[in-house]
């Protein structure tokens, strides 16, 4: 097994990408309330702040800030994945290895993590999170994707509603 080098910063902020094993499935958006409950449940046990988040059909991106002197994001992700998986009716394809280990085949085993270094890094990752539904061709405007903290950022005045929206010429001849 490879040795993963993770940056553990007590009370740090981290960008994460977490994906389903079968990337063509839409389990996350089809079961959004179950996913939200998994997050709520884990946050009660092991507090953390979700700074920004987007849930797509088969993966999610988010930024968390952990409490001071806490670096344990891995346990939080394990608990979220487990809670979500236990609430989903079995039926996914299982490899021989997963069958042997009695594992579900919902999530990829690992996740991508990046320790946020400064405000510019935070802002860049927040923009990436919110633009992701447009990047994947799910919507034309960031504001049209319902499973995103973008709407909270608009309410707080941190983004205009039309942030990153395509320019509409409204039938004007630009030549």
Q: What angle, 0 to 180 degrees and rounded to 10, lies between the N-to-C axes of helices 73-87 and 32-45?
A: 140
Q: How far is CA 54 from CA 13, 32, 83, 143, 171, in A?
A: 16, 11, 19, 12, 33
Q: Give the count of beta carbons closer than 10 Å to the beta carbon of residue 151.
A: 16
147 part of the active site: yes
Side-chain-side CA neighbours of 128 within 13 Å: the count stands at 13
> Which residue is it, tokens 């990829």?
108
Catalytic residue among 128, 131, 147, 159: 147
Report the catalytic residues. 147
């Amino acid at each position: 097994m490879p040795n993963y080098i993770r940056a553990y910063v007590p009370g740090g902020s981290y960008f994460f990408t977490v994906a389903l094993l079968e990337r063509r499935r839409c389990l996350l958006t089809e079961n959004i309330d179950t996913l939200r409950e998994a997050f709520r449940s884990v946050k009660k046990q092991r507090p953390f702040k979700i700074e920004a988040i987007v849930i797509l059909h088969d993966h999610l991106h988010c930024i968390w800030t952990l409490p001071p002197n806490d670096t344990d994001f891995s346990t939080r992700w394990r608990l979220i994945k487990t809670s979500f998986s236990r609430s989903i009716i079995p039926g996914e394809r299982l490899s021989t290895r997963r069958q042997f280990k009695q594992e579900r085949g919902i999530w990829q085993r690992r996740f991508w993590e990046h320790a946020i270094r400064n405000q510019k890094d935070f802002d860049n990752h927040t923009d990436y999170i919110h633009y992701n539904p447009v990047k994947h061709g799910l919507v034309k405007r960031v504001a049209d994707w319902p499973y995103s903290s973008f709407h909270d950022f608009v309410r707080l005045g941190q983004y205009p509603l039309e942030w990153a929206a395509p320019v509409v010429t409204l039938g004007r001849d630009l030549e």
